[in-house]
Amino acid sequence: MSEKNVASESSAKNVVLRTSDEQEFVVEERIAVQWGTIKRIFEDTFTGKPIPLPNVDGKTLAKVIEYCKKRAETEPSSAEGEKREKELKRWDLEMFLDEPDDVIFNLALAANYLDIKDLLDAACEKIADTIKDFTVEDCRAFFGIESDFTPREEEEIRAEHRWAHDLSRN
């Protein structure tokens, strides 16, 4: 059975992860231990059996693994310090360019749960990038949000943020 093979492999260099929808993924240990949550499991309670991840579904985990693999491949870079930060940021944004928004959100949630800082930062950057330059109406329409302010609150907020609203109308 492939599961038995997988179990014996996990003692070598791989880890098996089981998602909320019962899918199993084999991941190289060196990649998986970079994830805070997995690392803690390794240090505490790892038994060699597949690690359950009830908060992540298969589709999202696949993307997480894809991201981490790609990142690992591009790690060595000639640039350094701030330049490298910018390079990586740009690379991240490109990677997420064509992904629909709900995928990005799921990635953010998964990265938060798995404690993968780089992916979390990248996903949040992408979401922020989407929100940037939205007017109030744009934002509501895009996310399907409705205003739930009382009339008095509405007035206060209008005054407080007036400078921003006017700008966006220009």
Q: Which positions touch another protein (CB under 8 A)?
A: 102, 105-106, 108-109, 112, 120, 124-125, 127-128, 131-136, 139-140, 143-150, 153, 157-168, 170
Pairing of strands 51-53, 24-28: unpaired
Q: How far is the CB of 134 from another protein (least distance, A)?
A: 6
Q: How far is the CB of 63 from another protein (least distance, A)?
A: 15
Cα–Cα dist 18/53, whole Å = 6
Q: Which SS3 state, helix, strand or coil, does residue 23 take? A: coil
By C-beta, is 16 or 61 nearer to another protein? 61
Helix or strand run (H / E) with residue 53 = strand 51-53
By C-beta, is 43 or 160 nearer to another protein? 160
Q: How far is the CB of 123 from another protein (least distance, A)?
A: 9
Spatial contact of 57 and 103, defined as CB atoms under 8 Å apart: no
